[in-house]
């Protein structure tokens, strides 16, 4: 498409003025520059597109053409009205998604204000009396506030620390595995748990951890009721998350590793590098940008620790560690129908997440012009 644009452009110019040769040379020069930039830009774009950056619409060579050539001789563009008229069909396609998004995504955002009001369904959102920070204060004064905050932070922080390296190590090992059949089998199997419902996972956990004849107790020869031990909750939660998601997490790393030039390995082999050295000096450096990106993404979601599993694994006896903010939101907001309190607590959680996201975004910018907010 880029090249196409180019030809049009140069033709137009050639017709216009007599300096054809000059233009031709310039075009060739630009083309060469273009391919050069495209090659150089691949890594840069990789980074951008991982974060779903909205660059690709103008990215690649297209951006370069418009930026380098357009100022010299602007191609006559259609007027805005004309372009809208030409594109009425895409707008029609967008109609339903936009309406749904406005109602069910932006509607709730508008509804956040009930966190600051005494919500009265009869009066509606905007007519309900304003009470300021009342509900936030109530949350901060809740007897379990500190416990919930710490449990949320620690659960996700420990979760990140333990689960983050596992897929990386697994993909480094799998990538070096020379028996393709075994590699494929392992890959298929380790993806499996990702497709199982949290409900089923928790059911399995309850079976395995059962004090009377659960698998873990059978192997260890003990009779411990793990789900009533507050000290065991985080371990159970994190270990099962690793079991469920680590395999799935290898996909992105394995894909990155598979794009490594085979000649690098050949050269390393010729130089007598062992597998371990190849991992250390080829795989890890190639994987590092992806690792950093994944880390940044995980940190930004730190407060959105999974509600489902914590809720399903919670028992009255492990509440000391399993009580997290998300459970409080559900219990207060839905079960007890204290809508304002639930909204306020949810907003508090979102606010922390956004602060984390912005902080991480800042660090990411320093690391390599990554920007994903």
Partner 1 sequence: MSVLSRRKQGELGGFSDRTSDIILIIISVIILLIVAYPLYYILVASFSDPYDVYAGKTFLLPSQATLDGYKAVFAEQNIVRGYGNSILYTVVGTIYSVALIYLVAYPLSVPDLPFKKIISIFFIITMYFGGGLIPTYLIVQKTGIMQTIWAMFLPGGVAVSNAIIARNYFENSIPGALKEAAGIDGASHFRIFFSMIIPLSTPILSVMVVFSMVAYWNDWFTALIYMTNEQAPLPLVLRNILIKSSASASQASMISGGYAELNKMTEMIKFASIIVAAAPMLIIYPFVQKYFEKGLMAGAVKG
Using the rule CB under 8 A, is 183 a contact of partner 1?
A: yes
- Residue closer to partner 1 by CB (options 23, 193) is 193
Helix (H, G, I), strand (E, B) or coil at 129: coil
Distance (Å, whole) CA 211 – CA 239: 18
Using the rule CB under 8 A, is 274 a contact of partner 1?
A: yes
Using the rule CB under 8 A, is 285 a contact of partner 1?
A: no
Q: Are 53 and 14 in contact (CB under 8 A)?
A: no
- Residue closer to partner 1 by CB (options 14, 312) is 312
What is the residue-wise DSSP string for 114-128?
GGGB---TTT-TTTS
Using the rule CB under 8 A, is 46 a contact of partner 1?
A: yes
CA dihedral 347, 348, 350, 353 (to 10 degrees): 170
- Residue closer to partner 1 by CB (options 26, 371) is 371
The region of 23-31, 52-60, 143-151, 155-163 touching partner 1 under the rule CB under 8 A is: 52-60
Report CA-CA distances (Å) from 102 to 31, 98, 124, 229, 292.
Answer: 44, 6, 19, 45, 34
Using the rule CB under 8 A, is 27 a contact of partner 1?
A: no
Using the rule CB under 8 A, is 104 a contact of partner 1?
A: yes
Categorise residue 120: left if φ over 0, alpha if ψ from -120 to 50, beta otherwise. beta
- Residue closer to partner 1 by CB (options 14, 297) is 297
Using the rule CB under 8 A, is 83 a contact of partner 1?
A: yes
Binding residue count for partner 1, defined by CB under 8 A: 108
10 Å CB burial of residue 228 (0-12, 13-18, 19+) is middle
- Residue closer to partner 1 by CB (options 23, 345) is 345
Using the rule CB under 8 A, is 262 a contact of partner 1?
A: no
Among 63, 204, 264, 295, binds partner 1 (CB under 8 A): 204
DSSP state of 193: G
- Residue closer to partner 1 by CB (options 49, 266) is 49
Q: Residues 289 to 318: which contact partner 1 by CB under 8 A?
A: 307-308, 312
DSSP state of 333: I
């Amino acid at each position: 498409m880029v090249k196409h644009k180019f030809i049009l452009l140069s033709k137009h110019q050639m017709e216009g003025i007599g300096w054809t040769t000059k233009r031709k040379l310039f075009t060739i020069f630009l083309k060469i520059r273009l391919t050069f930039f495209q090659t150089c830009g691949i890594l840069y774009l990789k980074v951008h597109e991982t974060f779903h950056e909205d660059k690709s619409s103008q990215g690649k060579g297209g951006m370069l053409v418009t930026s380098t050539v357009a100022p010299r001789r602007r191609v006559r563009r259609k007027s805005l009205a004309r372009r809208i008229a030409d594109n009425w069909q895409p707008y029609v396609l967008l109609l339903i998604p936009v309406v749904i998004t406005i109602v069910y995504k932006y509607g709730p955002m508008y509804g956040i204000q009930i966190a600051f009001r005494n919500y009265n369904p009869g009066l509606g959102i905007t007519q309900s009396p304003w009470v300021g920070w009342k509900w936030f204060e109530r949350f901060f004064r809740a007897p379990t506030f500190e416990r919930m905050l710490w449990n949320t932070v620690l659960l996700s922080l420990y979760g990140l620390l333990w689960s983050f390296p596992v897929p990386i190590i697994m993909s480094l090992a799998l990538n070096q595995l020379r028996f393709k059949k075994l590699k494929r089998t392992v890959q298929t199997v380790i993806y499996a748990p990702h497709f199982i419902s949290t409900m089923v996972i928790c059911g399995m956990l309850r079976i395995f951890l059962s004090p009377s004849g659960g698998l873990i107790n059978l192997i260890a020869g003990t009779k411990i009721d793990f789900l009533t031990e507050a000290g065991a909750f985080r371990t159970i939660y994190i270990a099962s998350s690793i079991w469920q998601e680590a395999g799935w997490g290898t996909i992105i790393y394995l894909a990155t590793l598979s794009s490594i030039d085979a000649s690098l390995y050949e050269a390393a082999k010729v130089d007598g590098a062992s597998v371990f050295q190849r991992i250390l000096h080829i795989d890890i450096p190639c994987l590092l940008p992806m690792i950093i990106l994944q880390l940044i993404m995980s940190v930004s979601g730190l407060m959105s620790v999974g509600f489902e599993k914590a809720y399903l694994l919670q028992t009255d006896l492990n509440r000391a560690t399993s009580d997290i903010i998300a459970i409080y939101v559900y219990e207060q907001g839905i079960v007890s129908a204290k809508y304002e309190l639930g909204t306020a607590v949810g907003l508090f959680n979102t606010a922390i997440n956004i602060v984390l996201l912005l902080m991480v975004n800042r660090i990411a910018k320093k690391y390599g012009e990554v920007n994903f907010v």
